[in-house]
Chain A
Amino acid sequence: MSSATSSTQAGADRPGKKNLLFGLSNTLVYRLLSIVAVFGIWEIAGRIPISVAFPTFGETMQALFEMTLDGRMVHAYGETLKPLATGVIISGVFGVVIGVGMGLNRLFQWMWEPIFIVLQASPVAALIPLITYAYGIGLTAKTVAVIMLAAPIIVLNTYKAVRNASPSLIQMSRSFQGTRMQEIWKVIIPSAAPIIFAGLRLGVAAGFIGVILAELLITPTGLGDLISYHRSIAEYPQMYAAVFSIIVFSAVMVGFLENVEVKYFRPEKKKGL
Protein backbone atom coordinates (compact mmCIF):
# COMPACT_ATOMS: atom_id res chain seq x y z
CA MET A 1 0.00 0.00 0.00
CA SER A 2 2.64 2.51 1.02
CA SER A 3 4.72 1.68 -2.03
CA ALA A 4 1.71 2.36 -4.22
CA THR A 5 1.27 5.73 -2.58
CA SER A 6 4.88 6.70 -2.96
CA SER A 7 4.89 5.69 -6.61
CA THR A 8 1.91 7.99 -7.09
CA GLN A 9 3.93 10.83 -5.69
CA ALA A 10 6.93 9.94 -7.80
CA GLY A 11 4.61 9.87 -10.79
CA ALA A 12 3.26 13.27 -9.88
CA ASP A 13 6.57 15.10 -10.14
CA ARG A 14 7.73 13.16 -13.17
CA PRO A 15 6.87 15.89 -15.67
CA GLY A 16 9.41 18.12 -13.87
CA LYS A 17 13.05 18.36 -14.88
CA LYS A 18 14.40 16.06 -12.17
CA ASN A 19 14.93 13.01 -14.33
CA LEU A 20 16.61 14.79 -17.21
CA LEU A 21 20.26 14.55 -18.10
CA PHE A 22 21.72 16.81 -20.84
CA GLY A 23 18.11 17.57 -21.78
CA LEU A 24 17.47 13.89 -22.55
CA SER A 25 15.50 11.50 -20.40
CA ASN A 26 17.48 9.57 -17.87
CA THR A 27 16.79 6.13 -19.31
CA LEU A 28 17.64 7.23 -22.83
CA VAL A 29 21.05 8.46 -21.67
CA TYR A 30 21.80 5.16 -19.94
CA ARG A 31 20.73 3.22 -23.01
CA LEU A 32 22.98 5.29 -25.24
CA LEU A 33 25.88 4.86 -22.81
CA SER A 34 25.39 1.10 -22.83
CA ILE A 35 25.41 0.99 -26.64
CA VAL A 36 28.52 3.21 -26.84
CA ALA A 37 30.29 0.95 -24.32
CA VAL A 38 29.55 -2.18 -26.37
CA PHE A 39 30.81 -0.59 -29.58
CA GLY A 40 33.88 0.72 -27.76
CA ILE A 41 34.79 -2.73 -26.49
CA TRP A 42 34.21 -4.13 -29.96
CA GLU A 43 36.58 -1.51 -31.45
CA ILE A 44 39.28 -2.33 -28.87
CA ALA A 45 38.86 -6.09 -29.31
CA GLY A 46 39.16 -5.65 -33.08
CA ARG A 47 42.36 -3.62 -32.74
CA ILE A 48 44.18 -6.00 -30.40
CA PRO A 49 43.11 -8.11 -32.46
CA ILE A 50 41.60 -11.08 -30.70
CA SER A 51 41.46 -12.93 -34.02
CA VAL A 52 42.35 -12.14 -37.63
CA ALA A 53 38.74 -12.99 -38.43
CA PHE A 54 37.42 -10.27 -36.09
CA PRO A 55 37.27 -6.80 -37.65
CA THR A 56 37.04 -3.55 -35.71
CA PHE A 57 33.74 -1.71 -35.25
CA GLY A 58 34.96 1.04 -37.60
CA GLU A 59 35.86 -1.34 -40.42
CA THR A 60 32.53 -3.09 -40.06
CA MET A 61 30.60 0.17 -40.21
CA GLN A 62 32.54 1.22 -43.29
CA ALA A 63 31.75 -2.10 -44.98
CA LEU A 64 28.11 -1.71 -44.00
CA PHE A 65 28.07 1.78 -45.52
CA GLU A 66 29.61 0.60 -48.81
CA MET A 67 27.37 -2.44 -49.07
CA THR A 68 24.31 -0.27 -48.48
CA LEU A 69 25.38 2.26 -51.09
CA ASP A 70 26.18 -0.23 -53.83
CA GLY A 71 22.82 -1.95 -53.36
CA ARG A 72 24.09 -5.35 -52.22
CA MET A 73 22.47 -4.97 -48.83
CA VAL A 74 19.15 -3.89 -50.30
CA HIS A 75 19.18 -6.83 -52.68
CA ALA A 76 20.04 -9.29 -49.90
CA TYR A 77 17.25 -7.98 -47.68
CA GLY A 78 14.84 -8.26 -50.59
CA GLU A 79 15.68 -11.97 -50.74
CA THR A 80 15.75 -12.63 -47.00
CA LEU A 81 12.61 -10.70 -46.17
CA LYS A 82 10.39 -12.86 -48.39
CA PRO A 83 10.54 -16.06 -46.30
CA LEU A 84 11.09 -14.09 -43.09
CA ALA A 85 8.06 -11.80 -43.40
CA THR A 86 5.84 -14.60 -44.69
CA GLY A 87 6.91 -16.97 -41.93
CA VAL A 88 6.69 -14.40 -39.15
CA ILE A 89 3.27 -13.15 -40.24
CA ILE A 90 1.91 -16.71 -40.54
CA SER A 91 3.39 -17.64 -37.15
CA GLY A 92 2.14 -14.45 -35.51
CA VAL A 93 -1.42 -14.61 -36.80
CA PHE A 94 -2.01 -18.36 -36.59
CA GLY A 95 0.17 -18.71 -33.50
CA VAL A 96 -1.87 -16.20 -31.51
CA VAL A 97 -5.19 -17.57 -32.79
CA ILE A 98 -4.25 -21.18 -32.01
CA GLY A 99 -2.76 -20.19 -28.64
CA VAL A 100 -5.88 -18.24 -27.64
CA GLY A 101 -8.03 -21.19 -28.73
CA MET A 102 -5.93 -23.56 -26.65
CA GLY A 103 -6.19 -21.28 -23.65
CA LEU A 104 -9.97 -21.06 -23.91
CA ASN A 105 -10.84 -24.62 -24.85
CA ARG A 106 -9.42 -27.86 -23.44
CA LEU A 107 -10.28 -29.93 -26.48
CA PHE A 108 -8.40 -27.49 -28.69
CA GLN A 109 -5.52 -27.59 -26.25
CA TRP A 110 -5.25 -31.38 -26.37
CA MET A 111 -5.36 -31.26 -30.16
CA TRP A 112 -2.48 -28.81 -30.63
CA GLU A 113 -0.31 -28.95 -27.54
CA PRO A 114 1.70 -32.10 -28.42
CA ILE A 115 2.74 -30.77 -31.85
CA PHE A 116 4.10 -27.52 -30.51
CA ILE A 117 5.77 -29.02 -27.47
CA VAL A 118 7.61 -31.50 -29.69
CA LEU A 119 8.57 -28.71 -32.09
CA GLN A 120 9.83 -26.53 -29.27
CA ALA A 121 11.84 -29.33 -27.73
CA SER A 122 13.46 -30.49 -30.97
CA PRO A 123 16.72 -29.10 -32.32
CA VAL A 124 15.26 -27.39 -35.36
CA ALA A 125 18.67 -26.69 -36.90
CA ALA A 126 19.09 -30.44 -37.25
CA LEU A 127 15.66 -30.75 -38.83
CA ILE A 128 16.24 -28.07 -41.44
CA PRO A 129 17.99 -30.44 -43.89
CA LEU A 130 14.94 -32.72 -43.53
CA ILE A 131 12.67 -29.86 -44.58
CA THR A 132 14.37 -29.90 -47.96
CA TYR A 133 13.14 -33.45 -48.60
CA ALA A 134 9.57 -32.33 -48.05
CA TYR A 135 9.61 -28.80 -49.43
CA GLY A 136 12.60 -28.63 -51.77
CA ILE A 137 15.15 -25.85 -51.63
CA GLY A 138 13.00 -22.85 -52.54
CA LEU A 139 11.09 -20.16 -50.76
CA THR A 140 8.64 -22.63 -49.19
CA ALA A 141 11.36 -24.57 -47.39
CA LYS A 142 12.79 -21.37 -45.92
CA THR A 143 9.39 -20.12 -44.85
CA VAL A 144 8.75 -23.47 -43.17
CA ALA A 145 12.05 -23.13 -41.30
CA VAL A 146 11.02 -19.70 -40.01
CA ILE A 147 7.62 -21.03 -38.91
CA MET A 148 9.15 -24.05 -37.18
CA LEU A 149 11.26 -21.77 -35.02
CA ALA A 150 8.83 -18.94 -34.43
CA ALA A 151 5.43 -20.61 -34.10
CA PRO A 152 5.96 -22.90 -31.07
CA ILE A 153 7.18 -20.02 -28.91
CA ILE A 154 4.27 -17.81 -29.93
CA VAL A 155 1.65 -20.55 -29.53
CA LEU A 156 2.83 -21.81 -26.15
CA ASN A 157 3.28 -18.35 -24.67
CA THR A 158 -0.14 -17.24 -25.86
CA TYR A 159 -1.77 -20.38 -24.54
CA LYS A 160 -0.22 -20.00 -21.08
CA ALA A 161 -1.03 -16.30 -20.95
CA VAL A 162 -4.69 -16.92 -21.77
CA ARG A 163 -5.01 -19.88 -19.44
CA ASN A 164 -3.55 -17.83 -16.56
CA ALA A 165 -5.64 -14.71 -17.17
CA SER A 166 -6.77 -13.33 -13.81
CA PRO A 167 -9.68 -15.48 -12.51
CA SER A 168 -10.72 -12.64 -10.26
CA LEU A 169 -11.17 -10.28 -13.24
CA ILE A 170 -13.09 -12.96 -15.13
CA GLN A 171 -15.43 -13.35 -12.18
CA MET A 172 -15.81 -9.57 -12.00
CA SER A 173 -16.81 -9.48 -15.67
CA ARG A 174 -19.39 -12.22 -15.09
CA SER A 175 -20.80 -10.55 -12.01
CA PHE A 176 -21.49 -7.42 -14.07
CA GLN A 177 -23.19 -9.65 -16.65
CA GLY A 178 -20.43 -9.65 -19.24
CA THR A 179 -21.04 -12.17 -22.04
CA ARG A 180 -18.40 -14.78 -22.86
CA MET A 181 -17.34 -12.68 -25.89
CA GLN A 182 -16.95 -9.54 -23.75
CA GLU A 183 -15.05 -11.57 -21.20
CA ILE A 184 -12.62 -12.74 -23.90
CA TRP A 185 -12.13 -9.38 -25.63
CA LYS A 186 -12.33 -6.97 -22.72
CA VAL A 187 -10.71 -9.02 -19.96
CA ILE A 188 -8.83 -12.16 -21.01
CA ILE A 189 -6.96 -10.80 -24.03
CA PRO A 190 -5.80 -7.51 -22.46
CA SER A 191 -4.90 -9.43 -19.32
CA ALA A 192 -2.82 -11.87 -21.40
CA ALA A 193 -1.37 -9.20 -23.72
CA PRO A 194 1.98 -8.67 -21.95
CA ILE A 195 2.87 -12.36 -22.12
CA ILE A 196 1.45 -12.78 -25.63
CA PHE A 197 3.65 -9.91 -26.77
CA ALA A 198 6.67 -11.29 -24.92
CA GLY A 199 6.06 -14.49 -26.93
CA LEU A 200 5.72 -12.53 -30.16
CA ARG A 201 9.01 -10.73 -29.53
CA LEU A 202 10.82 -13.99 -28.80
CA GLY A 203 9.07 -15.59 -31.78
CA VAL A 204 10.15 -12.84 -34.17
CA ALA A 205 13.73 -13.10 -32.90
CA ALA A 206 13.58 -16.88 -33.42
CA GLY A 207 12.21 -16.30 -36.93
CA PHE A 208 15.35 -14.29 -37.74
CA ILE A 209 17.46 -17.21 -36.53
CA GLY A 210 15.32 -19.54 -38.66
CA VAL A 211 15.73 -17.57 -41.85
CA ILE A 212 19.49 -17.19 -41.48
CA LEU A 213 19.89 -20.89 -40.65
CA ALA A 214 17.83 -21.75 -43.71
CA GLU A 215 19.89 -19.43 -45.91
CA LEU A 216 23.09 -20.94 -44.60
CA LEU A 217 21.97 -24.58 -44.63
CA ILE A 218 19.50 -24.91 -47.53
CA THR A 219 20.62 -22.66 -50.38
CA PRO A 220 22.69 -19.51 -49.97
CA THR A 221 20.48 -16.51 -50.73
CA GLY A 222 20.07 -13.04 -49.26
CA LEU A 223 21.90 -12.35 -46.03
CA GLY A 224 22.92 -15.97 -45.57
CA ASP A 225 24.64 -15.74 -48.95
CA LEU A 226 26.36 -12.47 -47.99
CA ILE A 227 27.65 -14.04 -44.78
CA SER A 228 28.91 -17.28 -46.30
CA TYR A 229 30.33 -15.61 -49.44
CA HIS A 230 32.35 -13.01 -47.54
CA ARG A 231 33.51 -15.60 -45.07
CA SER A 232 34.73 -17.87 -47.85
CA ILE A 233 36.86 -15.09 -49.34
CA ALA A 234 37.95 -13.85 -45.89
CA GLU A 235 36.28 -10.41 -46.16
CA TYR A 236 35.43 -10.30 -42.50
CA PRO A 237 34.27 -6.67 -42.20
CA GLN A 238 31.64 -7.38 -44.89
CA MET A 239 30.61 -10.59 -43.20
CA TYR A 240 30.22 -8.86 -39.84
CA ALA A 241 28.40 -5.94 -41.45
CA ALA A 242 25.75 -8.42 -42.65
CA VAL A 243 25.48 -10.02 -39.20
CA PHE A 244 25.36 -6.60 -37.51
CA SER A 245 22.58 -5.38 -39.80
CA ILE A 246 20.41 -8.41 -38.94
CA ILE A 247 20.82 -7.82 -35.23
CA VAL A 248 19.84 -4.16 -35.60
CA PHE A 249 16.89 -5.05 -37.83
CA SER A 250 15.70 -7.72 -35.38
CA ALA A 251 16.01 -5.30 -32.45
CA VAL A 252 14.00 -2.66 -34.33
CA MET A 253 11.22 -5.18 -35.01
CA VAL A 254 11.14 -6.26 -31.37
CA GLY A 255 11.00 -2.61 -30.23
CA PHE A 256 8.17 -1.96 -32.68
CA LEU A 257 6.14 -4.82 -31.14
CA GLU A 258 6.70 -3.36 -27.69
CA ASN A 259 5.25 -0.04 -28.86
CA VAL A 260 2.21 -1.76 -30.36
CA GLU A 261 1.57 -3.55 -27.07
CA VAL A 262 1.74 -0.41 -24.96
CA LYS A 263 -0.20 1.70 -27.42
CA TYR A 264 -3.12 -0.64 -28.06
CA PHE A 265 -3.32 -3.00 -25.10
CA ARG A 266 -1.60 -1.75 -21.97
CA PRO A 267 -1.67 2.06 -21.90
CA GLU A 268 -0.96 2.06 -18.16
CA LYS A 269 2.63 1.05 -18.90
CA LYS A 270 3.30 4.24 -20.77
CA LYS A 271 3.03 6.39 -17.68
CA GLY A 272 5.75 6.30 -15.07
CA LEU A 273 8.20 4.31 -17.14
Chain B
Amino acid sequence: MASAAAAPAYKGTTETSKDNIVEVRNISKTYGTDIHALDAINLAFPTGQMTTLLGPSGCGKTTLLKIIAGLLEPSDGQVFVHGRPVTGPGPERAFVFQDFALLPWATVLRNVGFGLELTKHPKSEREEKARHYINEVGLAGFEDKYPHELSGGMRQRVGLARAMAVDADVLLMDEPFSAVDEQTRRKFQEDLLHLLSVERKTVIFVTHSIEEAVYVSDQIVLLSPRPGRIHATIRPDISRDISPDDIRRNKTYLDTVEEIWTDLRKYLD
Protein backbone atom coordinates (compact mmCIF):
# COMPACT_ATOMS: atom_id res chain seq x y z
CA MET B 1 0.00 0.00 0.00
CA ALA B 2 2.82 2.33 0.95
CA SER B 3 4.26 2.90 -2.49
CA ALA B 4 0.91 3.17 -4.23
CA ALA B 5 -0.40 5.66 -1.72
CA ALA B 6 2.85 7.58 -1.47
CA ALA B 7 3.01 8.39 -5.17
CA PRO B 8 -0.12 10.54 -5.40
CA ALA B 9 0.71 12.09 -2.05
CA TYR B 10 4.10 13.08 -3.34
CA LYS B 11 2.52 14.48 -6.49
CA GLY B 12 0.40 16.62 -4.24
CA THR B 13 3.53 18.44 -3.20
CA THR B 14 2.95 20.98 -5.96
CA GLU B 15 0.04 22.20 -3.92
CA THR B 16 2.08 22.94 -0.83
CA SER B 17 3.39 26.42 -0.81
CA LYS B 18 7.16 26.85 -0.97
CA ASP B 19 6.94 29.34 1.87
CA ASN B 20 5.62 26.78 4.32
CA ILE B 21 8.28 24.33 5.35
CA VAL B 22 5.85 22.24 7.45
CA GLU B 23 2.21 21.64 6.66
CA VAL B 24 -0.22 19.76 8.84
CA ARG B 25 -3.27 18.47 6.99
CA ASN B 26 -6.39 17.21 8.64
CA ILE B 27 -4.55 15.60 11.56
CA SER B 28 -6.65 13.77 14.13
CA LYS B 29 -5.43 11.61 16.97
CA THR B 30 -7.34 9.25 19.20
CA TYR B 31 -5.54 7.41 21.99
CA GLY B 32 -7.05 3.98 22.51
CA THR B 33 -10.73 4.09 21.64
CA ASP B 34 -12.06 7.07 23.54
CA ILE B 35 -9.39 9.69 24.25
CA HIS B 36 -9.85 12.12 21.39
CA ALA B 37 -6.75 14.30 21.64
CA LEU B 38 -6.73 16.15 18.31
CA ASP B 39 -9.50 16.86 15.83
CA ALA B 40 -8.92 17.77 12.18
CA ILE B 41 -5.97 20.13 12.60
CA ASN B 42 -4.85 22.09 9.52
CA LEU B 43 -1.82 24.32 9.92
CA ALA B 44 1.00 25.84 7.92
CA PHE B 45 4.36 26.79 9.38
CA PRO B 46 6.11 29.52 7.38
CA THR B 47 9.81 28.95 6.69
CA GLY B 48 12.14 30.82 9.02
CA GLN B 49 9.42 31.85 11.45
CA MET B 50 8.58 31.00 15.00
CA THR B 51 5.12 29.52 15.50
CA THR B 52 3.77 28.85 18.96
CA LEU B 53 1.14 26.29 19.87
CA LEU B 54 -0.67 27.73 22.85
CA GLY B 55 -3.42 26.09 24.82
CA PRO B 56 -4.45 24.72 28.19
CA SER B 57 -2.82 21.61 29.64
CA GLY B 58 -4.06 18.40 28.05
CA CYS B 59 -5.30 19.99 24.82
CA GLY B 60 -2.94 17.94 22.67
CA LYS B 61 0.04 20.26 22.11
CA THR B 62 2.64 17.59 22.84
CA THR B 63 0.66 15.08 20.76
CA LEU B 64 0.67 17.40 17.75
CA LEU B 65 4.37 18.19 18.13
CA LYS B 66 5.27 14.49 18.36
CA ILE B 67 3.19 13.74 15.28
CA ILE B 68 5.08 16.46 13.39
CA ALA B 69 8.33 14.96 14.73
CA GLY B 70 7.31 11.54 13.41
CA LEU B 71 7.43 10.03 16.91
CA LEU B 72 3.67 9.34 16.96
CA GLU B 73 1.35 8.05 14.24
CA PRO B 74 -1.71 10.21 13.62
CA SER B 75 -5.09 8.44 13.49
CA ASP B 76 -5.93 10.45 10.42
CA GLY B 77 -4.32 13.06 8.17
CA GLN B 78 -0.77 13.75 7.08
CA VAL B 79 2.16 16.00 7.84
CA PHE B 80 4.36 17.37 5.06
CA VAL B 81 7.90 18.64 5.52
CA HIS B 82 9.49 20.26 2.47
CA GLY B 83 6.41 18.99 0.66
CA ARG B 84 7.15 15.34 1.46
CA PRO B 85 4.87 13.29 3.70
CA VAL B 86 6.31 12.40 7.11
CA THR B 87 6.66 8.69 7.89
CA GLY B 88 9.03 8.98 10.87
CA PRO B 89 11.74 11.18 12.36
CA GLY B 90 13.97 12.88 9.80
CA PRO B 91 17.19 14.88 9.64
CA GLU B 92 15.37 18.13 8.83
CA ARG B 93 13.61 18.12 12.21
CA ALA B 94 15.15 18.24 15.69
CA PHE B 95 13.31 17.97 19.00
CA VAL B 96 13.92 19.78 22.28
CA PHE B 97 12.26 17.83 25.09
CA GLN B 98 10.28 19.17 28.01
CA ASP B 99 12.17 16.87 30.42
CA PHE B 100 15.51 17.56 28.62
CA ALA B 101 16.08 13.85 27.82
CA LEU B 102 19.83 13.99 28.43
CA LEU B 103 21.91 10.85 28.90
CA PRO B 104 22.89 10.92 32.59
CA TRP B 105 26.02 8.86 31.92
CA ALA B 106 27.33 11.13 29.17
CA THR B 107 29.19 14.42 29.49
CA VAL B 108 27.77 17.66 28.12
CA LEU B 109 30.10 17.27 25.13
CA ARG B 110 28.80 13.80 24.28
CA ASN B 111 25.18 14.74 24.92
CA VAL B 112 25.39 17.71 22.57
CA GLY B 113 27.07 15.55 19.92
CA PHE B 114 24.69 12.61 20.43
CA GLY B 115 22.49 13.39 17.42
CA LEU B 116 25.60 13.42 15.23
CA GLU B 117 26.85 10.24 16.92
CA LEU B 118 23.63 8.45 15.94
CA THR B 119 23.99 9.55 12.33
CA LYS B 120 27.59 8.25 12.38
CA HIS B 121 29.50 11.49 11.96
CA PRO B 122 33.22 11.03 12.74
CA LYS B 123 34.21 11.82 16.29
CA SER B 124 36.38 14.84 15.48
CA GLU B 125 33.63 16.46 13.43
CA ARG B 126 30.90 15.95 16.00
CA GLU B 127 33.08 17.19 18.85
CA GLU B 128 33.97 20.30 16.90
CA LYS B 129 30.29 21.01 16.18
CA ALA B 130 29.31 20.19 19.74
CA ARG B 131 31.92 22.60 21.12
CA HIS B 132 30.67 25.31 18.80
CA TYR B 133 27.06 25.01 19.99
CA ILE B 134 28.07 24.58 23.63
CA ASN B 135 29.67 28.00 23.20
CA GLU B 136 26.60 29.39 21.43
CA VAL B 137 24.26 28.44 24.27
CA GLY B 138 26.66 29.87 26.84
CA LEU B 139 27.96 26.64 28.39
CA ALA B 140 31.65 26.99 27.52
CA GLY B 141 33.72 25.39 30.26
CA PHE B 142 31.06 22.81 31.10
CA GLU B 143 31.99 20.33 28.34
CA ASP B 144 33.12 17.62 30.72
CA LYS B 145 30.34 17.99 33.30
CA TYR B 146 27.56 15.44 33.68
CA PRO B 147 23.88 16.48 33.58
CA HIS B 148 23.40 15.97 37.34
CA GLU B 149 26.03 18.62 37.93
CA LEU B 150 24.02 21.26 36.02
CA SER B 151 21.00 23.36 36.97
CA GLY B 152 17.67 22.92 35.14
CA GLY B 153 18.29 25.92 32.93
CA MET B 154 21.74 24.67 31.97
CA ARG B 155 20.38 21.21 31.19
CA GLN B 156 17.87 22.67 28.78
CA ARG B 157 20.67 24.63 27.13
CA VAL B 158 22.36 21.29 26.52
CA GLY B 159 19.10 20.01 24.98
CA LEU B 160 18.94 23.08 22.76
CA ALA B 161 22.59 22.76 21.71
CA ARG B 162 22.03 19.09 20.81
CA ALA B 163 19.11 20.05 18.57
CA MET B 164 21.10 22.88 16.95
CA ALA B 165 24.13 20.65 16.35
CA VAL B 166 22.33 18.34 13.89
CA ASP B 167 21.64 21.39 11.73
CA ALA B 168 17.96 20.66 11.14
CA ASP B 169 15.79 23.24 9.40
CA VAL B 170 12.96 22.85 11.88
CA LEU B 171 13.27 22.95 15.67
CA LEU B 172 10.42 21.38 17.62
CA MET B 173 10.40 22.62 21.19
CA ASP B 174 8.01 21.17 23.76
CA GLU B 175 7.60 23.59 26.68
CA PRO B 176 11.37 23.92 26.86
CA PHE B 177 11.26 26.40 29.73
CA SER B 178 8.53 24.91 31.88
CA ALA B 179 11.01 23.26 34.26
CA VAL B 180 13.12 26.41 34.52
CA ASP B 181 12.73 29.15 37.12
CA GLU B 182 11.37 32.56 36.12
CA GLN B 183 14.60 34.60 35.92
CA THR B 184 16.43 31.91 34.03
CA ARG B 185 13.43 31.59 31.78
CA ARG B 186 13.50 35.24 30.69
CA LYS B 187 17.21 35.16 30.00
CA PHE B 188 16.75 31.91 28.11
CA GLN B 189 13.95 33.39 25.96
CA GLU B 190 16.16 36.33 25.04
CA ASP B 191 19.11 34.08 24.24
CA LEU B 192 16.89 31.83 22.15
CA LEU B 193 15.61 34.75 20.08
CA HIS B 194 19.15 36.00 19.58
CA LEU B 195 20.37 32.55 18.56
CA LEU B 196 17.51 32.11 16.12
CA SER B 197 18.13 35.47 14.49
CA VAL B 198 21.63 34.20 13.69
CA GLU B 199 20.71 30.66 12.69
CA ARG B 200 17.54 31.25 10.63
CA LYS B 201 15.58 28.22 11.78
CA THR B 202 11.91 27.48 11.60
CA VAL B 203 10.67 26.87 15.14
CA ILE B 204 7.53 25.19 16.36
CA PHE B 205 7.27 26.05 20.00
CA VAL B 206 4.82 24.68 22.54
CA THR B 207 3.93 26.59 25.66
CA HIS B 208 1.07 27.24 28.02
CA SER B 209 2.39 30.66 28.95
CA ILE B 210 0.63 33.48 27.08
CA GLU B 211 3.42 36.01 27.80
CA GLU B 212 6.04 33.63 26.53
CA ALA B 213 4.03 32.93 23.37
CA VAL B 214 3.56 36.60 22.55
CA TYR B 215 7.15 37.43 23.41
CA VAL B 216 8.80 34.86 21.16
CA SER B 217 6.37 34.23 18.29
CA ASP B 218 5.75 35.42 14.77
CA GLN B 219 2.57 33.38 14.75
CA ILE B 220 0.47 32.01 17.62
CA VAL B 221 -1.94 29.11 17.20
CA LEU B 222 -4.55 28.92 19.94
CA LEU B 223 -5.84 25.42 20.60
CA SER B 224 -9.12 24.63 22.29
CA PRO B 225 -9.33 22.05 25.13
CA ARG B 226 -9.69 18.37 24.27
CA PRO B 227 -10.30 17.44 21.57
CA GLY B 228 -7.73 20.00 20.42
CA ARG B 229 -8.97 22.14 17.56
CA ILE B 230 -7.59 25.36 16.15
CA HIS B 231 -9.38 28.14 17.91
CA ALA B 232 -7.59 31.10 16.37
CA THR B 233 -4.33 32.09 14.73
CA ILE B 234 -2.75 35.36 15.80
CA ARG B 235 0.22 37.23 14.33
CA PRO B 236 1.45 39.70 16.94
CA ASP B 237 2.72 42.74 15.11
CA ILE B 238 5.74 43.51 17.26
CA SER B 239 9.00 44.74 15.83
CA ARG B 240 11.89 42.43 16.73
CA ASP B 241 14.37 45.27 16.40
CA ILE B 242 13.58 46.82 19.77
CA SER B 243 15.27 45.60 22.95
CA PRO B 244 13.77 42.75 25.03
CA ASP B 245 12.81 45.12 27.82
CA ASP B 246 11.05 47.43 25.40
CA ILE B 247 9.12 44.54 23.93
CA ARG B 248 7.81 43.67 27.38
CA ARG B 249 6.59 47.26 27.80
CA ASN B 250 5.35 47.56 24.21
CA LYS B 251 1.64 48.41 23.86
CA THR B 252 1.00 45.87 21.12
CA TYR B 253 2.68 43.20 23.25
CA LEU B 254 0.52 43.98 26.28
CA ASP B 255 -2.67 44.25 24.20
CA THR B 256 -2.03 40.91 22.49
CA VAL B 257 -1.45 39.20 25.84
CA GLU B 258 -4.70 40.69 27.12
CA GLU B 259 -6.62 39.73 23.99
CA ILE B 260 -5.49 36.09 24.16
CA TRP B 261 -6.22 35.95 27.86
CA THR B 262 -9.80 37.17 27.33
CA ASP B 263 -10.17 34.68 24.53
CA LEU B 264 -8.92 31.66 26.51
CA ARG B 265 -10.69 32.65 29.68
CA LYS B 266 -14.01 31.25 28.55
CA TYR B 267 -12.50 27.74 28.50
CA LEU B 268 -11.80 27.99 32.19
CA ASP B 269 -15.45 28.00 33.22
Which residues of A does B touch, CB under 8 Å? 1, 4-5, 7-8, 11, 166, 168-169, 171-179, 182, 186-187, 190, 193, 265-268, 271-272
Question: Which residues 91-107 in B have Cβ within 8 Å of A in the complex?
Answer: 91, 93-95, 97, 99, 101, 103-106
- 7 contacting pairs across A/B (C-beta < 8 A): A4-B148, A4-B150, A7-B148, A168-B101, A175-B70, A176-B166, A186-B118
A169:B101 contact, CB within 8 angstroms: yes
B184: nearest residue on chain A (CB-CB)?
Answer: A1
Top 10 nearest A-B pairs (CB, nearest first) are A172-B101, A268-B146, A176-B115, A178-B118, A175-B95, A1-B152, A5-B151, A168-B101, A8-B149, A176-B118
Residue B71, interface by CB 8 Å = yes
B12 at the interface (CB under 8 A from A): no
Q: Which residue of A lies closest to B72 (CB)?
A: A171
Specify which chain A residues have a CB less than 8 angstroms from the CB of B90 in the assembled complex. 177
Interface centre among A7, A176, A182, A267 (most CB of B within 10 A): A176
A266 to B107, CA, bound (A): 11
- A171 touching B91 by the CB < 8 A rule? no
Contact size range, B:
35 or more
User: A151 to chain B: closest CB distance in Å?
Assistant: 27
Complex contact B148–A268 (CB within 8 A): yes
Q: Is B114 an interface residue (CB 8 A)?
A: yes
Contact A271 B89 (CB under 8 A): no
B181 interfacial contact with A, CB 8 Å: yes
The residue in chain A whose Cβ has the minimal distance to the Cβ of B101 is A172
- Which residues of chain A come closer than 8 Å to B151, judged between CB atoms? 1, 4-5, 8
Q: How many angstroms between the C-alpha atoms of A267 and B94 in the bound complex?
A: 27
Number of A-B contacts (CB under 8 A): 80
The residue on B at minimum CB distance from A12 is B149
Chain A nearest CB, measured from B233 CB (Å): 26
CB of A175 within 8 A of CB of B146, answer no
Chain B residues in contact with chain A, CB under 8 A? 69-71, 88-91, 93-95, 97, 99, 101, 103-106, 114-115, 117-119, 145-153, 162, 166, 179-181
Q: With a CB–CB cut-off of 8 A, which chain B residues contact A172?
A: 95, 97, 101
Which A residues lie within 8 Å of B95 (CB)? 172, 175-176
Residues from chain B with a CB closer than 8 A to the CB of A266 are 104-105
Interface centre among B88, B117, B151, B166, by most A CB within 10 Å?
B151
Q: Given A1-B181, A168-B97, A271-B149, list of 18 further CB < 8 A pairs?
A: A4-B151, A7-B149, A8-B150, A168-B101, A169-B101, A171-B97, A175-B70, A175-B89, A175-B93, A175-B95, A176-B89, A176-B162, A177-B91, A178-B118, A266-B105, A268-B105, A271-B146, A272-B149
| Complex alpha-carbon distance, A48 and B181, angstroms | 62
B101 A171 Cβ-Cβ under 8 A? yes
Contacts A171-B71, A171-B101, A265-B105 known; A176 to B119 CB distance under 8 Å? yes
Residues of A within 8 A of B99 (CB): 168
How far apart are the CA atoms of A190 and B180 in the complex, in Å? 27
Closest to B116 in A: A176
- How far is it, in angstroms, between the C-alpha of A115 and the C-alpha of B166 when the chains are bound? 46
Given contacts A168-B101, A169-B101, A190-B103, contact A177 B119 (CB under 8 A): yes
Smallest Cβ-Cβ distance to B66: which chain A residue: A171
| Residues in B neighbouring A7, C-beta threshold 8 A | 148-149
Q: Of all chain B residues, which has the CB nearest A9?
A: B149
Q: Which residue of B lies closest to A1 (CB)?
A: B152
Report B135 CB to chain A, min CB distance, Å. 20
In contact, A175 and B71 (Cβ under 8 angstroms): yes
Residue of A nearest to B155 (CB): A4
Contact B119 A175 (CB under 8 A): no
Closest CB-CB distance, A189 to chain B, in whole Å?
Answer: 11
Q: How far is the CB of A167 from chain B (nearest CB, A)?
A: 10
B149 lies within 8 A of A176 (CB):
no
Known pairs A1-B151, A1-B152; A173 contacts B104 (CB<8 A): no
Interchain CA distance A265-B90 in the complex, whole Å:
29
User: Across the interface, do A174 and B71 meet the contact criterion of CB distance under 8 Å?
Assistant: yes
A245 to B69 alpha-carbon distance, docked (Å): 58
Partner of B105, one of A174, A178, A267: A267
Using A168-B99, A190-B105, A267-B105 as known contacts, say yes or no to A173 and B118 having CB atoms under 8 A apart: yes
Chain A residues within an 8 Å CB radius of B181: 1
Please pick, from A1, A176, A179, the residue contacting B94 in the complex, using a CB distance under 8 A. A176
What residues of B have a CB within 8 angstroms of the CB of A267 in the complex? Answer: 105, 146
Q: How far is the CB of B167 from chain A (nearest CB, A)?
A: 12
Instruction: Please indicate the chain A residues that have their CB under 8 angstroms from the CB of B152 in the complex.
Output: 1, 4
User: How far does the alpha carbon of A267 sit from the alpha carbon of B89 in the complex, in Å?
Assistant: 30
